């Protein structure tokens, strides 16, 4: 069993970390202090998330700055760092001609485990990810969910202190997605491991992670707990109406309310104790029937889009950030 990290220790630290690809600045003065736990790594495509992962793993040389992972220098101790980190990549890195047990055992042997230990551990982790009964089947016969589970098994065969998952629910149906998220959460909570999870599916991140790291154009723009983020977002009143949504939207804005419209649903920023009465009066003046009125608690997708809006990114929904591979059942 690998050593556990103390709660007050930083598992990942970077100082003014930069990475350039030719003239392109992929990472711009990244300063991180990450403690153990489950962290969601968010940002649009091309923001620098995958580049950051590769730097943390010591797979690519940084242009400037410094960083440590579990106390080891990312520039000079990459091999040692990789022995303590599990990486589940977004791309398909499996050999379709191998059985699951052979693929996972091979991953262990690459990391320096002897064959007997790797074989025993492969059986254990395949059971952990729900593939006990499929371990002798060839990967070419596997569903997308089973392939993702196999990738996870490969990533944790050496019992790493840190697990990095890049889009772990890509292409999964509802059942496989739930199992993957439950497994990642169990790894973080019961296994007391650090999980860094990158995903465009905000609901998945919110299900697993307790804090958020957001990257935009190579810069860290947010590093906070989910609780802190929710507390910083203005409370809203959500109303559902029949007809006249545009008219009521305009009327509320004329009364100096901030309004977000989603079809027949309007979300109005809660200003004070008179806000609800003002909304009802505006609806009555517009002769619009309010079917439902309630206080709305923003979810992570709302928070992400609000931050992107403040940064000037023209993104209407996280579905715009997804390719077909990110959408379950395809």
274, 142: one domain: no
Give the other-Cβ count within 10 Å of 24's Cβ: 9
pTM value is 0.79
Question: Which of these three, 196, 213, 229, is where a domain ends?
Answer: 229
Q: What is the pLDDT of residues 66-87, one digit of tens each?
A: 999 999 999 999 999 999 999 9
Judge whether 21 lies within some domain. Answer: yes
pLDDT at res. 8:
54
Domain range for residue 263? 234-297
CATH number of the domain where residue 265 is located: 3.30.70.980
Residue 116 near residue 94 (C-beta atoms within 8 A): no
| Co-location of 177 and 252 in the same domain | no
The pair of structure tokens assigned to 38 is 């489950």
Q: What residue spans of 95-143 are helical by DSSP H? A: 100-110, 115-128
For 120-141, the pLDDT digits (tens) are: 999 999 999 999 999 999 999 9
> Over the stretch 87-122, which tens digit does the pLDDT of each residue have?
999 888 899 999 999 999 999 999 999 999 999 999
**Domain final position from 197, 229, 261:** 229
Number of domains comprising the chain:
2
Our CA angle for 232, 234, 236, nearest 5°, is: 145
What is the rounded distance in angstroms from the CA atom of residue 207 to the CA atom of residue 273? 32
Instruction: Report residue 216 CA to chain centroid gap.
Output: 14
Structural domain includes residue 329: no
Domain identity same for 99 and 172: yes
State the CATH number of the domain containing residue 158: 3.40.50.300
Residues 6+ apart with CB under 8 A from 292: 238, 239, 240
Residues 272, 216 share a domain = no
Identify the domain boundary among 229, 246, 268.
229
Q: Is position 325 within any domain?
A: no
C-alpha 241/C-alpha 159 separation (Å) is 53
Domain match, 205 and 240 both? no
């Amino acid at each position: 069993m690998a050593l556990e990290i103390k709660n007050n220790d930083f598992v990942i630290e970077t100082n003014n970390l930069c990475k350039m690809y030719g003239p392109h600045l992929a990472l711009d003065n990244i300063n991180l202090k990450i403690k153990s736990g489950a962290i969601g790594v968010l940002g649009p495509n091309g923001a620098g998330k995958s580049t950051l992962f590769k730097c943390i793993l010591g797979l690519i040389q940084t242009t400037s700055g410094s960083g440590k992972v579990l106390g080891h220098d990312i520039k000079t101790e990459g091999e040692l760092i990789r022995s303590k980190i599990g990486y589940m990549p977004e791309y398909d890195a499996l050999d379709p001609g191998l059985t699951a047990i052979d693929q996972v055992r091979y991953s262990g042997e690459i990391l320096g485990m002897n064959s007997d230990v790797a074989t025993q551990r492969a059986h254990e982790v395949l059971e952990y990810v729900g593939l006990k009964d499929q371990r002798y089947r060839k990967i070419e016969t596997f569903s997308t969910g089973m392939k993702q589970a196999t990738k996870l098994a490969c990533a944790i065969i050496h019992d790493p202190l840190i697990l990095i998952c890049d889009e772990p629910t890509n292409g999964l149906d509802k059942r496989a997605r739930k199992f993957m998220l439950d497994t990642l959460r169990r790894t973080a909570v019961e296994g007391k491991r650090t999980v860094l999870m990158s995903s465009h599916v905000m609901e998945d991140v919110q299900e697993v992670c307790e804090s958020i790291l957001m990257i935009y154009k190579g810069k860290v723009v947010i590093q906070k707990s989910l609780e802190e983020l929710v507390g910083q977002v203005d409370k809203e009143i959500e109303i559902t109406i029949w007809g006249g949504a545009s008219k009521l939207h305009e009327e509320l804005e004329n009364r100096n309310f901030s309004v977000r419209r989603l079809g027949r649903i309007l979300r109005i920023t809660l200003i004070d104790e008179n806000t609800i009465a003002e909304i009802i009066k505006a609806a009555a003046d517009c002769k619009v029937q309010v079917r439902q009125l309630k206080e709305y608690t923003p979810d992570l997708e709302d928070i992400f889009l609000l931050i992107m809006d403040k940064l000037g990114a023209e993104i209407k929904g996280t579905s715009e950030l997804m390719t077909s591979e990110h959408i379950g059942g395809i």
